[in-house]
Every structure is written in structure tokens, then in C-alpha cells.
Amino acid sequence: MQSIKSTALEPTVSELEKMTAGQKISRLLPVYGLPICMLLLIVLFSIMLPNTFPTMLNFRSILGDKAIIAILSLAAMIPMMAGRIDLTVGYGIVLWHIMAIALQTNLELDWRVVVVIVLLSGCLLGLLNGLLVEIARIDSFIATLGTGTILYAVALWYTEGRQIVGVLPKGFTEIYSWQPLGIPVVAYYVLALSLVLWVITEYTPIGRCLYAIGANPRAAELNGIPNRRFIIGAFVVAGLLGAGAGLLLAARLRIGQASVGLEYLLPALVGAFLGSTTIRPGRVNVWGTLAGVGILAVGISGIQQFGGAFYIEPMFNGVTLLFAIGLAGYSQKRRGRATAKPSAPKTHPPGGG
């Protein structure tokens, strides 16, 4: 039933106090290696592309383009906290953006009503996933792959492979296109969502219970944690966030088609998995997830400005994921060897008791 486990590997304060300066760097590098790499990439691309990369236009472009992926990565992160995985965050966005446009153009519903309908549909999808995983006892990878494929099939059936085009109200399109203070509004969405999730996951019993379930579900259950309720709730919240990302995609594209959306699946999952390799290695976390999405966004933007081919983006996603996971694995092995090292036997002075 467990697709992943949640076990934090970041060094404790007591561990760091006993280390030399070199040992501290060795232990902290895997923890903060990803944000450091992102900053180094920004400096490198700014030096090599001074006229195009370190510009406000490029900054706004990165924020606008990757905000949807960031929301999907945060959505995928929540079930991962409980040791589950949700693939419908990538498949669902295909149907949600089509539904958002079709309900406004074909049925002429008010866009506010459409937003509520799509968000509720996302919650229902999350509830279905949770029931399949916890009641039907289907592995979360298989269950969400099945429901996600069904959603994609429904989108293909409804569109018949064609685009859904219509005039969308300004109020709906502005949920993506508005730029307060010159910054895309979707960046504010990501920041607000991240702060809320950070507080919940780090400072409330909800977050501690989800992490406990992810680390050892049997122990969590013996300690009185209602595992089933928390896991189903995690899928519902993931479905809600996935539907919100679908609404943003609809406001961005202003057309609906089934061929658009699946390309968000891999980057969203890569961002979430990268988040488990930094800040708190071995445990998915909010700021690690944003760092994972950030390094993908910066790296791909810089490579594309160098004239990288169309296949560079998926290649960069895969290579970055393998590198980060390898770095975290190396850290875990180093820590395991350190804790397994036997302590020196005590010696007693001659004649001692």
C-alpha cells in the first residue's frame, strides 16, 4: 500500500554540534544542495545571457509558466506525506480545463458558478481516489493511474479530438492574466498556498499525523491516529488543488483540448519528488517542493534561451531528478554508516571496580 515513505534525514542540532566544519558542510550540502544549485544556475545564466535572462520579462515569464506546475506539485505532495501517490494531479487537469471552458461556452453558465463546479468535481475525484485506496485497498499508484486514465478518456470522448473555443468573460481570464505590481497573480496564489500548507504541515497536528502515517502507518494507528480519515482527506485536498490548477490553465489557454495538460504530469511529480530530497531530505515538504520546481524552471528557461531542442525539457527533468535523488541517497548512506559505527569500549584504570 505504500508507494513512498516519509522519513526525515536532516541533521539535528545535537548532531551538528559534534561535527567539525568539514563534516557540517558534508551533512548540510545534501540538505540545501538543490537551492544552492538553483542560485548558481541563476548566476551562471545571468552572466552568459545578460541581455535576456536577468530581466523582469523573463522573471515574469518563469513565474507565470511554472505556477501551474508548482500548484500541481504541492497537490501531489500532500498524499506523499501519507506515503501515497496521486497521478490524477496530471491527468485531471486535462478534464478540468475542458470542463471550465465548456460550461461557459456551451452551457453559458456564470464563470463563478463554473469555478465552484470544477472545484467540487476535483474534491469528488479526490474522495473517489481515497475510497479506492483505503476501502477497496488498491495500491495508490494503480488506483490513481486508473482513475486518471478514465478522466483522460472522458476528455477525449467529449472533445472528439477537437478544440473547444469560445469567448470567455474577462473576470475569468483575469484569474490568470492579472499582474498586480507587475507580478503575475498566479505567483501570489502559489505563495499564499505554500504559506498555508507550510503552517499546516509543520505546526499543526494534521501535518504531524500525515507524516507519522507516511513513516509507519501501523505505529500511527496504534497511537490512535485515524489513518483512513487522514489519507482520504489528503486525496480530497489534492483533488481540490488539481482542479484549481485546471481552472488556471483554462484561463491561460482560453481553449480546451485533450492533447493539452498531460505534459504537466511529469514536471509536477518531478517537483514533488525533488522536494523530498532537499530542505528535509527523505520527507516531502513545501519549501523543498518549491525549490524543486524552481530549479526546473530556471534550468529549462536558461537552456531554451541558448536554443535548446524540444527534447531538452524532459531530459533535464529526468537528469535533475536522478541527480537529486542520488544526492539524498548518498546522504542517507553516510548517516547510516555514522550511526552504525560502534562506540569505543570503555577502559577502566587498574584496580578499578
Radius of gyration in angstroms for the set of CA atoms belonging to the chain, rounded to a whole number: 23
Name, in order, each residue with C-beta under 8 angstroms of 211's C-beta and a sequence gap of 6 or more: 6, 8, 81, 201, 283
Q: How many CA atoms lie within 13 A of 53 on its CB side?
A: 21
Q: Closest Cα partner for 15 from 350, 253, 331?
A: 331
Whole-model pTM: value is 0.86
How many angstroms separate the CA atoms of 292 and 286, rounded? 10
H or E element that contains 255? strand 255-256
Domain boundaries, the chain: 33-43+54-332
Name, in order, each residue with C-beta under 8 angstroms of 115's C-beta and a sequence gap of 6 or more: 100, 172, 247
How many angstroms separate the CA atoms of 161 and 199, rounded? 42
Q: Closest Cα partner for 133 from 96, 80, 206?
A: 80
Q: Domain 33-43+54-332: which CATH class?
A: mainly alpha
Q: pLDDT tens digits for the chain (353 residues)?
A: 344 454 445 555 566 666 777 666 666 666 777 788 889 989 999 999 898 899 998 899 889 889 999 999 999 999 999 999 999 998 999 999 999 999 999 998 999 999 999 999 999 999 999 999 999 999 999 999 999 999 999 999 999 888 888 889 999 999 999 999 889 999 999 999 999 999 999 999 999 999 999 888 999 998 899 999 999 999 999 999 999 999 999 999 999 888 887 788 888 888 888 887 777 777 889 998 999 899 888 988 888 888 777 777 778 777 776 776 666 566 556 555 655 555 445 555 555 44
